[in-house]
Amino acid sequence: MGFSPSAQPILRQLQQSGLVEAIRWPEPVESSAANDDPQNAPGPWLKHRWDGASAVLAVGACGLVTRLIAPLLGDKNRDPAVLVIDPRGRFVIPLLGGHGAGGERLSQEVAALLGAEVVITGSSGAEGRLDLDSFGSTWGWRRGSGDWNGLMRQLAGGSWPLVHQSQGLTLWQSLDAVADPGDAIAHESGACDDADGGLRIGAERGPGCRWHPPCLWLGLGCERDTSESLLERLVEDTL
């Protein structure tokens, strides 16, 4: 979304890239169409789309965008990512949802498109550390239960959590963004003791912060020509 005619070149680039589904085009300065259509005003336009959006890209000032989204903020686990781009396309700032909503990853895509610089203010991204509370989603993992805020505070304090990994790829451990945890990572062939919490990667549920890789297979037999919909319904009802 844009707020002034100076945002139009950036909005056109975003439209042509296919990164955005809906655009609020700013009205020309001499036009009164915005006043004639209250629903095209920035507040109502954004409110109408907020709940269904995965991300909001705003071309304008951070202060303006902050005031605009303030009444819409609910839960950090459900709010969309919000990225702010200056009208000249020099900087991309993930203002909201940098981790869980994928704002920092999207900002890298937008910056590559515009030839811009990403301005990251979150502690993990700014210091080049892996975001333990969001990195698994790009691997196809699902985030489970746990005190993720506490885990990230522990990491920000310089203390690497104890990591137990029983399933899933381990290539993430060799990334440059992973500080050398020494003996903090344990590889396990089966279920492990849940007493120490920490970060756990595997199929099991329990204490600690959990990432669940797609590591389980389901097999079933059927009569010839059984419909796929019947099998899907059977699996859904059984599980």
User: What tens digit of pLDDT does each residue of 108-151 get?
Assistant: 889 999 999 988 876 555 566 777 887 888 788 998 888 888 88
- Least confident range from 34-38, 51-55, 207-211: namely 34-38
Q: What's the pLDDT at 239? A: 84
**CB count in 10 Å sphere of residue 83:** 26
Q: Is the pLDDT of residue 190 over 50?
A: no
What's the full length of the chain, in residues?
Answer: 239
pLDDT of the residue at 227? 93
pTM (2 decimals)?
Answer: 0.61
Cα–Cα nearest to 143, from 197, 206, 100, 193? 100
Contact 99, 133 (CB under 8 A): yes
Task: Report how far residue 39's alpha carbon sits from residue 45's, in angstroms, rounded to the nearest whole number.
Answer: 6
Of 73-87, 91-105, 126-140, 210-224, give the lowest mean pLDDT range.
Answer: 126-140
Do residues 32 and 41 touch, judged by C-beta distance below 8 A?
no
Please tell me the predicted confidence (pLDDT) of residue 157: 75
Average pLDDT estimate for 26-31? 66
Q: Can you give the pLDDT at residue 120?
A: 80
Is the model's pLDDT at 159 over the cut of 80? no
**Among 8-17, 54-63, 174-183, whose mean pLDDT is lowest?**
174-183
- 164 — phi, psi (to 5°)? -115, 125
Mean pLDDT of 170-176: 79
- What integer best gives the mean pLDDT of the chain? 82
| pLDDT score, position 189 | 44
Looking at per-residue pLDDT, the higher value among 51 and 174 belongs to: 51
Query: Which alpha helices (DSSP H) does the chain contain, by range?
Result: 8-17, 33-36, 42-50, 62-69, 103-114, 123-126, 148-156, 228-238
